[in-house]
Amino acid sequence: MRVATWNVNSIRARVGRVTDWLQRADVDVLAMQEIKCKDAQFPHEPFEAAGYEVATHGLSQWNGVAFASRIGLADVELDFPGMPGFGKPLPDGSLPLEARAMAVTVGDDVRLWSLYVPNGRELDNPHYPYKLEWLDRLADVAQRWLGDHEGGALAMMGDWNIAPLDEDVWDLRAFEGATHVSEPEREAFRRFEGLGLADVVRPLVPTGYTYWDYKQLRFPRNEGMRIDFVLGSPGFQDAVTGAAIERDERKGDAPSDHVPVVVDLELDSPLDDDRPMIF
DNA sequence: ATGTCGCTTTGAAAGCGA
């Protein structure tokens, strides 16, 4: 099984690139972030023509997450319990929820999240405490799931908008006083690791960025950031056989500012265990 | 060079978010 995560920065602007890559890279399941459209605007046809079924969670021109799968797509869950909102309070006093998280079950029994973690904007912006709260409530949900599914295969993948290590940005000096590298953000990320969720890509792909800003020739200068991650449970980690960061997808016409991150899995199917050997 | 992109409201250009 080959799964991937990709912040596509508008699926409508890039659907051809995405479906072409899915087929070329032989990907079974793709978690997308920043689809930047409402559910009704999502271009289903190109995915179906390529053999993928799609589940989307898009509320407006901002954010939005989705899955495409050619190995099944079940138990779709939007948002997560306790997820904070952001913006202008609604009549009932609550804050509007943004489309930043969804989970699905694929293949035999692999639980996957597509996550678009809030950006944070600046350290003194209300978006920053929102980001930290959002991550903490998400970690609560992960912790509960891990407690309830010992040995289960879970991956939380997406655009985490955090550079966990100093080498995950091209120059730490350019990030003084900025989001993505602050200690509270890194601490929030480490909480997931403390729960037993590990970055399954880094051991196999030790270096490389996943995002380069469109501005200031960041890609030609290779001034990027590593902020897209696949965090897997122990049961998921055991199945990983390979990983890749698809840097070439930042090249050419109308690329996203992020590139796909790919993980290969070899899962023992319970069916295989029960099946008698016939040869 | 604040070396960009995508979406929206608007009806060409500006604001917003990243």
Instruction: Write out the residue range of the structural domain in which residue A140 sits.
Output: 2-268
Residue A231 is assigned to a structural domain of this protein: yes
Q: Assess whether A215 (CB) lies less than 7 A from strand B.
A: yes
Q: How far is the CA of A277 from the C1' of B18 (A)?
A: 54
pTM over 0.75: yes
Residue A273 is assigned to a structural domain of this protein: no
pLDDT at A268: 80
Task: Say whether pLDDT at A272 is over 80.
Answer: no
Task: Say whether pLDDT at A191 is over 70.
Answer: yes
> Among all strands, which nt has the closest C1' to A256 (CA)?
B5
Q: How far is residue A62's CA from residue A141's CA, in Å, rounded to a whole number? A: 24
- pLDDT tens digits for range A46-62: 999 999 999 999 999 99
Q: Assess whether A217 (CB) lies less than 7 A from strand B.
A: yes
Q: How far is residue A265's CA from residue A250's CA, in Å, rounded to a whole number? A: 25
Residue A186 is assigned to a structural domain of this protein: yes
Q: Assess whether A175 (CB) lies less than 7 A from strand B.
A: no
> Among all strands, which nt has the closest C1' to A34 (CA)?
B18
Residue A53 is assigned to a structural domain of this protein: yes
Residue A274 is assigned to a structural domain of this protein: no
Residue A79 is assigned to a structural domain of this protein: yes
Q: Assess whether A64 (CB) lies less than 7 A from strand B.
A: no
Q: Mean pLDDT for chain A?
A: 96
Whose CA is closest to A148, among A231, A235, A24? A235
Q: How far is residue A164's CA from residue A186's CA, in Å, rounded to a whole number? A: 5
Domain count, chain A: 1
Q: Cβ–Cβ contacts within 10 Å for residue A126, how many?
A: 12
Question: Which of A113-127, A239-253, A261-275 is the least confident region?
Answer: A261-275
Amino acid A114 reads S
> Among all strands, which nt has the closest C1' to A38 (CA)?
B7
Q: Across-strand partners of A104?
A: A112
Residue A33 is assigned to a structural domain of this protein: yes
| Average pLDDT, integer, range A224-230 | 98
> Among all strands, which nt has the closest C1' to A220 (CA)?
B3
pLDDT at A144: 98
**CATH number of the domain encompassing residue A24:** 3.60.10.10
